[in-house]
Amino acid sequence: MPTCQNCHNKWSWKQTFKRTFTSDGMTCPYCEDKQYLTSRVRKGSAIIPFIMITLIMLCNLFFGPSFIFFFALLGVIPLFFVIYPFFVEVSNKKEALW
């Protein structure tokens, strides 16, 4: 879970999860300062859909075309949202993605 870089309070899972869906900056629940996702986290979350698509492709290649893997991966998505706040890191400044 992220720690606010301004007041150094640790955010709870719920507080982080709620802020995950705001696109531009996340307001700290303690000091109301704007915090931004680090480029590391943003890179990671941009890569995950590609990994999932690659996995579906690979499964289709090895086991023949099937929608089972597609639905299996769809089932993984809620799980991803549950674990995502644990990996979130924030910084005071908006970092460039690359």
- Say how far residue 5 (Cα) sits from the centre of its chain: 19
Decide: 13 and 4 in contact? Cβ < 8 Å: no
Q: Which residues bind Zn ion (CB under 5 A)?
A: 4, 6-7, 28, 30-31, 33
Cβ 58 to Zn ion, closest distance in Å? 42
Q: Shortest Cβ distance from residue 7 to Zn ion (Å)?
A: 3
Shortest reach from residue 14's CB to Zn ion, in Å: 16
Backbone φ, ψ for residue 14 (5° rounding): -65, -45
Query: Measured from the CB atom, is 28 or 41 closer to Zn ion?
Result: 28
Task: Tell how far CA 88 is from the center of its chain.
Answer: 7
